[in-house]
Chain A
Amino acid sequence: MKKNKLKLITEILAILIICLVSFVGVYKQDANKMVNKIKEYELAKDLKGYRELVFEVSDAVEVKDSDGELMGNTDTYSDSDIESNSLTKTENKVNSEESLTLENYEKCKSIIEKRLNYLNVEDYNLSLDTQNGTITLQIPEDSETDHTVSNILQISKFEIRDSEDSSNVFITNDNIKDISSAYNTDQNGTIVYLQIAFNKEGTNKLKELSTGEYATKPEDESENEENTESENETTDENAVEAETEMQNEEEDSNNENATKEDKENTADEASTENSSEESTDENAEEEQKKIVLAIDTNDMITTSFDDPIENGIISLSMGRATTDSEEISDQLRSTSTIALLVKSGKMPLTYKISTNSYINTDITENTIQKILIVTGVIILIGLVIYIIKYKLKGLIAAIAYIGFIALYLLIIRYTNVEVTMESITASVIIFIINYILTYSLLNKKEDKINVDKLKSWIMRLLPIFIISIVFVFIKWTKITTFGMNMFWGILLSIIYSYLLTRDMLD
């Protein structure tokens, strides 16, 4: 009996400590102030704030250089930039009057939505003004926000075109089946690649290009020399250090998801790495077509093909081999971004950002406090019911219940679950579930809670546990956080009730 009392007192003391840690915190002196060492709650967009962006259809005109090459538009070049760089404004609007249609507005919205998903933005609010195409986007503010904002409006026009005649476009976005980033590591370091797989039409065009069937006329000797020098010249202006390397890959129709091993093979077979030497081969050079691979106004590479590309897959190295992990990570990030932008499709219209600001949530601390007070009062009433109905056992159950809430809130913080309206709802459901479980322990007719009782609890909670697990894997913050809260809550509720609450009440 004494042993049981001692055990109960120990359990109550343990609960008290958990409550102190969870509700009050653990304070340590840091410089001149006391700092709570317990992890803070992570608030999501609805409870913290968000970035609001307003995208307007651009009315800019094209800007060209002295050679007539398209450089950008008046949204990206100010008048002083145009003057200082000897550029000229044209009459051509980036968005023609005919292109300003509802269909194009909807398409742009859909592409932006795709990009948000590819960029792993898991909570956003997107709206379209069907009258003028203005798009409003609200996204969470985090370390990735600026990266998202800077890429979301790219046109992503992919072209493989004649190096001498930019109007002669061979391959466009429509010919791409898949585009992804990949990497290969050898003794020199890691090289990051942009791997492009073309569809049937694109594959045929690429084959024709690489076998010289697209070549219109052999170039003369002097031009050959010039071109030989410029072979593999990187003309990227967008900080993509594309060391030109077009590879004729292994004939593998399934290599969209090429393994690292595959890529090692393809790297070994890189055929044009020494192309400046090889290109002196006169006969071959005469048949080779020099092409430019460009994304938007950035010419990523200028190259030619040594061998026919028959499988419709090309890999472009996006930088030098390096062992610097930070550089590799940067290269992978920029390559992945290029891949996902092209993959999401070409924007039919050019947009500009007219508003870009951080907005605090309208759900104030005051509102949250009110919600907490109401929840607290309801819980308190519930616990008073325990005490009135079951006296001492009710009091013990109430203490155990408060301990459960404290432990649950600690777990939520340390498992990095963001607090959303949905996660608050999930927490309320968990509090109800634990209340019912504790009540069933208080109300038990048998002396001991047996395995059958535990099995019955599990059976009753299994469907919502299954739902919680599915929700955890959904890439939408509101659903994920709901699932996470439910998952941890159900798990903790069963374990806590069976091991601690039951033990305290026995």
Chain B
Amino acid sequence: MEQKKAKILYIIIAIVIIVGAIVTGIKGFNIELMYSNRQQIVVTNNTGFNIEEVKEIAKSVLEDKKAKVQKNEWFENSVIISSTEISDEEKENIVNKINEKYSSNILNEDVSVISIANTRIRDILKPYILPGIVTFSLVLLYFVIVYNKIGIKKVLLTGILTPIITELVFFAIVAITRIPFGRVTSSIAIGLYIVSIGVVTNFFQNEKEKLPKAKKNQND
């Protein structure tokens, strides 16, 4: 029965990874705006802005496009509105609506659209690769030294596959569900790596602690 459950679980994991790979191949990840190709405008007035109100304005003009509004500089009289694309018409609409809301006199010509290129995924992941390889190798070495009595093949297979499959499943879910890939996902990925290592260690330790008992039972 347990074996059957495990089989079903493996099949589900395999399907998720395959579907995730297909989605990534076709559509790529849904990259967080901070790391993707974007355009931004800086709007400044003398009286300051309420960030939530500007967010509403940006949302109403940019509609379904990804957008974010951030305070610019130390003072609160400047905001940056970023989106995947801001057309001249959209820019003008935003400026007009802000003028209307704050009774300001910001000129459309004074607001320019700046294009920012995307950060490559490999650049986002680069800082994590070396620490990942070093720690993974160290942990595998630790597993082999401490838990070799369980069986080196089992230790290596479980030790290598569990963290890798965990990460693959996570990124597949990110790709399938179109959760933005960025700051939060990278922090969860690093957390899952630790958790998977913790779970594997716990499993090995339990197996190891069972070993003398099993031997004892055999002797009896």
Chain A interface (Cβ < 8 Å from any Cβ of B): 46, 49, 54, 125-130, 134, 136, 355, 357-362, 364, 420-422, 424-426, 428-429, 433, 456, 459-464, 466-467, 470-471, 474, 476, 478-479, 482, 486
Contacts and interface: CB of A to CB of B under 8 A. Distances in A.
Contact of B72 (A359, A460, A462): A359
Contacts of B118: 127
Interface string B172-188: 00000000000110111
Given A136-B117, A463-B201, A486 B183 contact: no
A323 B130 CA distance: 42
Given A129-B117, A130-B117, A362 B190 contact: no
A487 to B, nearest CB: 12
Contacts, number: 124
Interface string B112-152: 00111111100110011011001100110011001000000
Interface class of chain B by DSSP: helix
Contacts of B74: 358
A456 B205 contact: yes
Contacts of A130: 117
25 contacts: A127-B118, A130-B117, A359-B70, A359-B71, A359-B80, A362-B69, A424-B187, A429-B194, A459-B201, A459-B205, A461-B198, A463-B139, A463-B142, A463-B198, A463-B201, A464-B198, A466-B142, A467-B139, A467-B194, A478-B190, A479-B128, A479-B131, A479-B190, A482-B190, A486-B194
B35 A125 contact: yes
Contacts of A470: 131, 134-135, 138
Q: Which 10 A-B pairs have the closest CB atoms?
A: A129-B117, A421-B187, A425-B191, A360-B71, A476-B127, A127-B119, A467-B135, A422-B187, A425-B187, A127-B117
Nearest to B208: A459
A466 B51 CA distance: 43
Given A362-B68, A466-B142, A467-B135, A421 B195 contact: no
A126 B118 CA distance: 9
A471 B70 CA distance: 31
A461 B142 CA distance: 12
Contacts of B70: 359-362
A358 B127 contact: no
Given A127-B118, A456-B209, A463-B142, A471 B127 contact: no
A470 B193 CA distance: 14
B192 to A, nearest CB: 9
A237 B115 CA distance: 36
